[in-house]
Structure 1
Amino acid sequence: MAVEALAGLASKENFSAVALKKVENSPVTREMPPYTSLMLLHVKGRRHAQTRLVEPVVSNVNQGDDFVLITPSEIYHYKGEFANVIERAKASEIAQYVLQKKDMGVTSVNNVVEVDEHSPSGDERSEGQPAGAPDEDECVEAALVAANKVYEVQEDSLVPLPDSWGQMPKIEILSSEKVLVMDFGSELYIWAGKRGCGDERRLGVALGRELWEEEYDYSECDINPIMPMMPVSQAKLTGSRPAWGLCAKLTENVETILFKEKFIDWPDLAQQSRIKEVKKELDRYVAPVSELQPCDAKMLLEELPLEPDLELEMTHLGRGVEYYDEEVC
């Protein structure tokens, strides 16, 4: 053995004389987390319901849509009286996912508080702003999707992705080698693949912050995604990002539900649950040694059986009553 190893084995240390420093229990702070301490999620749409972060104020809650209010210790699901079934189902799935997975910074929550305006079964009652026009869901949904902006970090700059610009992105753009910046108005995400270059990751954070801090410009869009329910005549189409907005970093495979909802083909939450149940059933299933298969009656009718041939002492007797030799005949 080496001299250093022998010296280490021979040494004696008195660990009782070592004074350890007491470390205060302080919460771990995460750089650019994908959530805040108070978030109001607005679920609106009819074909592909959009889930967007809006300012957590009472004036943003209306009777025509569903909302999910998230804090570290509470989750509320507000059910608008005139919300459609797609909005209702989507908001319920999001609230349950956050509860079960402890997503979006949630720590100690045991149940989702249902807030209904008129149902006696609701845990709490509340009255929101009046609902909009009947065709409002489709118009707002289309306008929100048209305002989406997706960039890829390439050679010290942000390059727009044409296939994902102005529409709902697809999962296929999330390559493990890429670093993307996605702008959804009140939310901006810097997404990094697990095999992404470290320099590109740092550059993506710097460029994403720069994009977030500069003035936004939605003058060419039909709606301001930061204030989707405000009339265009009153909404500001240019300006700075709001303080309640979200500029966050995300890594592959640890995305939040709010980020996943931006994609058109992210697997449905209920579908994922069903797939897991089916896989469990398949794991428990043991294939039988032999299986009985139904007989094809048509095949039996088409195929004629061979004529029987009894052979004794090199003589073909056929059925045993007369001489029979197929070759001679």
Structure 2
Amino acid sequence: MSSTKQILDPAFQGAGQKPGTEIWRIEDFKPVPLPKSDYGKFYCGDSYIVLQTTCNRGGAYLSDIHFWIGKDSSQDEAGTSAIKTVELDSMLGGRAVQHREPQGYESDKFLSYFKPCIIPMEGGFASGFRKPEEDKFETRLYICKGKRAIRVKEVPFARSSLNHDDVFILDTEKKIYQFNGANSNIQERAKALEVIQHLKDKYHEGVCDVAIVDDGKLQAESDSGEFWVVFGGFAPIGKKALSDDDVILETTPTKLYSVNNGKLTLEDTVLTKSILENTKCFLLDCGSELYVWVGRVTQVDDRKAASVAVEEFIVKQNRPKTTRVTQVIQGYEDHTFKSKFDSWPVTNAAGASGEDGRGKVAALLKKKGDVKGASKNSPAVNEEIPPLLEGGGKLEVLLIMHHNLRVILITTTGNRKVP
């Protein structure tokens, strides 16, 4: 396997050293660190990589890597973000969970990093990053969806965009209006108020009138009358039009593909855990969601090839933009992934928890020689847990005996905390 230093993109140097969010934008097919002042700004013509680092109770760092694909981003850029995500994961030890985030269909987990929301902007790197905040103010209409994590999407500024089921925000130069559809959800109405405050602070320097307009309550001498004048006068609005969000995919049988030299081969057999080989990557097609399973000893180049193959698969299969892709590592599969298989033996895997750490200590002690009582109460070591990819660090375990006192001292060198 190539060393981590050889596969590490310079842009990722020092990434994941502390809890928090880090973002890179793909420019000329290379990741470029985004200034923190631009966090939350996503351009429709670009692709981004977002690393979220958290620390569990045991002090271990856990990583989630998301690659966000703008609706106008090219397939080449999307493919580059997927490949660079694999490189970043390799640098972090190969245990990060990877998520594909298409614009407009982001996961709640991704959206939770940006409060109160993200509002994708038109333009991109190739177009010189047109900055709406520096241009002449343009009236915009947004639709707000989501009870927990709010999704904000710009829609055509027209009466035909409104309906009775959703919440809308009309952002004008002097006033921001919130239009509550008669059948809209109360949680979405509350979330929309947070978005309005965000728009007010960001694009109106905190000084702007705000008005609430309730569907069906027309009063000519009120905010409601002003609202409809912006649209050229009041007129009945139609029913909600069917969108990609409302399309329900037909239930299809789950299929498993092995990835061989970047090509997908259908495994036409009953799905059991024994099919998965630790030297390969596999694609599990669940219809509306895709999983990439990575064997613990697969090479980084094979992981990159699998990411590219999945992007091509989505295009060739005409899958909708809502298709979710999650990468799981051997030994760290979640319950949803396991449930797709007819046979998955139950193990006492401890994952990346503190139990896993204690199990590793017990195994190291056992290698140095059986020490009375040293591993008596330690959990069994799960042989299926994959080792970290090369990280250049070193772990030393020392057992100090003094009368009846037994002390285990762990020392590390390298740039990551030991899980």
Q: Same fold (TM over 0.5)?
A: no
More strand by share: 2
Larger Rg: 1
With normalisation by structure 1, the TM-score equals: 0.32
TM-score scaled by length of structure 2? 0.26
